[in-house]
Structure formats: C-alpha cells, structure tokens
Amino acid sequence: MKILITGAAGRLGSQLVAQLEDRHDIAEADIVGAVSHNLDISDYDACRRLVAEIQPDFLLHPAAWTDVDGCALDPTKALKINGLGTGNLAAATAKSGIPMLYVSTNEVFDGAHDRAYTEHDAPNPINAYGYSKWYGERALAQVNPRHYIVRAAWLFAHGGRNFIQAILGAARAGKPLRVVTNEVTNPTYTNDLAAAIAQLIETERFGIYHLVNEGAVSRWQFARFALDEAGFADMPIQRISRHEWNRPSLPPEYTALANLAGASIGIRLRPWREALRAFFEAEARI
C-alpha cells in the first residue's frame, strides 16, 4: 500500500514512518525537515497537487500545530492549520476515494464529566486548540466518508521537548517543581500510538477511535511516577490547581478517554506506567 504521511518530520509522523516503512511504500510530507515532499496543509491547491502526484492508497494525517498556548494567542492560525488544513486534505482525498486518518485530541472535550469520555460523547471544546482540532474532525467527517478519527492524549516521545523532558530537565537542574493536580487524562507513548494506528488502518473499520495508553492520572501523578522511575524519588513536587498555573490557554480538567471502539476490534494499548517504563528503557539505549 502506498501511504502519504503528513507531518512526517514530527515526533508522531516520524514514528509512523518507522512503523510502516518495512511493509508499505511511504511518501513523507511536511513543511519542515528532511522529507521528500514539502507541504503546507493550509494551501488547498498544494494539497490537491501532491495527492494527485503521489496517488496514495491511504493518507495518514498527524500534522498539526500542537502548541496549545500558541493556539490560544493566535486562534486564527490554529484554525487555518488544524481545522481548514485538515479540510483541505479531506477534500483532496475524497475526490479519488482515498481513505484518510486524522489524529485529533482529548481537548475536543470540555472536561466537565466525572467519567472517561467514549467515542460517542459529543465534543465541546473550551480552548482554541481543542476547537481547531474539533473543526478538523468535522471537516473530515463531512467530506470524506472513508475516514478514521483517532483521538490521543498527553503524548510523550523521544527527542524534542514534551512534559516528561521538561520535568526531568527541571529535576536535573535542581529547579523547584509545581505541577497541576486537577488536569487528568491518559499519558500516551508515541511509539504505542503509532503501532496502534498501523494496526487500525488495516481494518477498514472507519470511524472514531480513542487510542491511548490505559489508565488516567493527573499531571502531578504523572510527574511523580516519572521522577520516581528516573531516580528522583526525593525530589518534591508542589501540588497546584490549574488555575494557579498562569498560561494563555486553560486546558479542560478531566478528559480521560475510554477506548471502546478500538478494543472491540482487538486494538488496545498497554497501561501508561508500563509504557513509560519502556520509554525510559529506550531512552537509556539512545
């Protein structure tokens, strides 16, 4: 199968390439990085031309602007990339009946529930990032019926700078740590998500999926476990409310995701603690 992957230079995109390149013909597209095709997804003509040139059998779309605070400061840009950009790819693929998978987020939900959100719960985003990703979901669903929407949460990956790297970096530098206790969802290892997506695209069971490592925790609990595993068990972490962490975007409070659809067809991700231990083992080898 010939697969076009957007955001191929990113953490999830590059892991999807690594997971799939042995079994499929992969075309890599991104607006940055050393990839075979430069693509600005906010340019519809560019999307249409690239899809026509490559003629893929499948399009994987993890590309996004994931700077949540940046999206809050520039919601128009967020909508242009995450929402309209996804719509551009949806239209380009729909013309030729090409299936498309879009990676969305737990932040399409408002966080007002006290239970895990299922794939059938109605989104109600409360910040610009969540709204832009929800817009992308709707743009894809309305234009291309052969679609998968995969919602993930709190991705941690090798390289770059995400929550785990920030916490460990602060601990190594001896900086005081303040971490939120009332933001809760599922920490998810990028490698595990990529493997689950690779399995999902073989099924042709189109629809919405929540693919996250099992188990939901607070930011504080996630940080505490990570520090303990990394040898910083004596490092204290001050507990704070999300309202005490001054930032442009206010994330939803409780957005644990329940994997019902994926589990029903045999796609499950291991518990997040096991995934984080595997991450640390891989980091040691790197």
Give the CA distances from residue 256 to residues 58, 140, 182, 244, in Å, rounded to whole numbers and listed in that order.
29, 24, 12, 21
What's residue 35's pLDDT? 84
Structural domain boundaries in the chain: 2-160+187-213+256-271
Q: Examine the pLDDT at 58 and tell me if it is beyond 90.
A: yes
CB 86 within 8 A of CB 149: no
Which tens digit of pLDDT belongs to each residue from 254-273? 999 999 999 999 999 999 99
- The rounded distance, in Å, linking the Cα atoms of 173 and 278 is 24
Which tens digit of pLDDT belongs to each residue from 25-42? 999 999 987 788 999 999
Average pLDDT, the chain: 96
Mean pLDDT calculated for residue range 98-103 = 98
Q: What percent of the chain has pLDDT over 90?
A: 92
Mean pLDDT calculated for residue range 2-20 = 97
CB 265 within 8 A of CB 211: no
Q: In the structure encoding, which two tokens stand for residue 203, read together?
A: 């099924």
CB 185 within 8 A of CB 257: yes
Which tens digit of pLDDT belongs to each residue from 142-183? 999 999 999 999 999 998 778 999 999 999 999 999 999 999
| CB atoms closer than 10 angstroms to residue 162 | 16
β-strands 217-218, 184-185: how paired?
Answer: antiparallel
Give the CA distances from residue 71 to residues 79, 149, 282, in Å, rounded to whole numbers and listed in that order.
8, 21, 31
- Active site residue: 102, 117, 129, 131, which one? 129
What's residue 32's pLDDT? 87
Which tens digit of pLDDT belongs to each residue from 111-148? 998 899 999 999 999 999 999 999 999 999 999 999 99
Q: In the structure encoding, which two tokens stand for residue 167, read together?
A: 């916490």
Q: Examine the pLDDT at 286 and tell me if it is beyond 70.
A: no
Reference 189, options 101, 62, 274, 68; nearest CA is 274
Q: pTM to 2 decimals?
A: 0.96
Q: How far is CA 214 from the centre of its chain?
A: 15
**The CATH number of domain 2-160+187-213+256-271 is 3.40.50.720:** yes
Mean pLDDT calculated for residue range 50-62 = 97
Is 129 designated active site?
yes
